Amino acid sequence: MPRKNEAWGIEVGQYAIKAVRLSRHGQEVHLDDYEIIRFKEILSTPDIDANEQIQLHLDQLIQKHDLAHAQTVVSVPGHLAFARFAKLPPVEPKKIPDIVKFEAVQQIPFPIEEVEWDYQVFQQDDSPDVEVGIFAITKERVAHFLSNYRTVNLRVDALTLSPLAVYNAFAFDSGAKDGTGGEGMIYMDIGTVSTDVIIVENGGIWLRTLPIGGNAFTEALVRAFKISYAKAEKLKREAATSKYAKQIFQAMRGVFADLVQEVQRSLGYYQSLNRDSNITRLVGVGSTFRLPGLSKFLKQQLGVEVVRPNGFEKIGIEGKREADFAEHAMNLATAYGLALQGLDLQMVEANILPSSILRARMWKAKQPWLVAAAACVAVGAGIMGGSYYLAQNTRSSAIDEGGMGGTDIMVKRVLNQAEGYTKQLKEVNQAEDPRQRIENLRRTMDYRALYPLIMQDISEAVATVEPQEPLQAVNFEEIQKIPRNERRRVYIDAIQTAYDTRADEEGGDARGMRGQDMMRERYDPGRSGRGPAGRGPAGASSTATPSSMTVTSFFDADAGKAPRIHIRVIGTTPVSGPETFLQSTIERYLRRNADRPDRPYRLEFGEKVITHLTNVATDGTDAGINDRQNLRGMRAAPGRGEFLEGPDQAPLDLKSIDALLPKNPLEEETVSEDWEFHLEWTVVLRPPIETRNVVTTPVTAEESSPAPDAAEPESAPQADANPDRTEPGRDAAPQQEARS
Distance CA 527, CA 621 (A): 9
What confidence score (pLDDT) does residue 593 get?
A: 94
Q: Give the Cα separation of 657 and 632 in Å (integer).
A: 10
Which amino acid, 696?
Answer: T
**Under 8 Å between Cβ of 712 and 469:** no
Which residues are 22's β-sheet partners?
A: 7, 31
- Chunked into runs of 10 residues, the chain (740 residues) has average pLDDT values of 83 93 90 93 85 94 92 93 87 87 89 91 77 92 93 94 94 74 85 93 90 91 90 86 86 92 93 89 90 88 91 85 85 94 92 81 61 73 73 62 62 86 82 73 80 93 92 83 91 91 48 40 35 36 39 49 90 93 94 91 93 79 43 35 42 54 71 92 87 53 42 39 41 38
**Alpha carbons 266 and 271: distance in angstroms, whole number:** 9
CA distances from 222 to 167, 210, 217, 219, 249 (A): 33, 22, 9, 5, 13
Cα-based distances in Å from 544 to 497, 511, 518, 603, 739: 13, 14, 10, 22, 9
Query: Which residues, 6 or more positions from 307, have their beta carbon under 8 angstroms from its beta carbon?
Result: 281, 282, 283, 284, 295
DSSP state of 486: G
Quote the pLDDT of residue 45: 80
Give the pLDDT confidence score for residue 562 in this predicted structure: 80
CATH dotted code for 179-313 = 3.30.420.40
Round to whole Å and give the CA distance between 644 and 642.
6
Helices (H) and strands (E) in the chain, counts: 25, 20
- Per-residue confidence (pLDDT) for residue 526, from 0 to 100: 32
Q: What is the pLDDT of residue 177?
A: 63
Adjacent-strand bridge partners of 15: none
CA distance 352 to 77: 13
Q: Do domains 1-79+138-175+315-353 and 179-313 have the same CATH topology?
A: yes
Q: Per-domain residue ranges for the chain?
A: 1-79+138-175+315-353, 179-313, 358-431, 449-711
Element (H, E) at 431: none
Contacts of 21 (CB under 8 A, 6+ apart): 6, 7, 8, 9, 31, 32, 33, 34, 65, 70, 339
For the full predicted model, state whether its pTM sits above 0.95.
no
For residues 467 and 456, what is the distance between their CA atoms, to the nearest angstrom?
Answer: 19
Supply the Cα-derived Rg of the chain in whole angstroms.
Answer: 35
Fold category of 1-79+138-175+315-353 in CATH:
Nucleotidyltransferase; domain 5 (3.30.420)
Contact 203, 124 (CB under 8 A): yes
Per-residue confidence (pLDDT) for residue 428, from 0 to 100: 75
pLDDT of residue 693: 60
| Element housing 678 (H / E) | strand 675-685
pLDDT of residue 726: 41
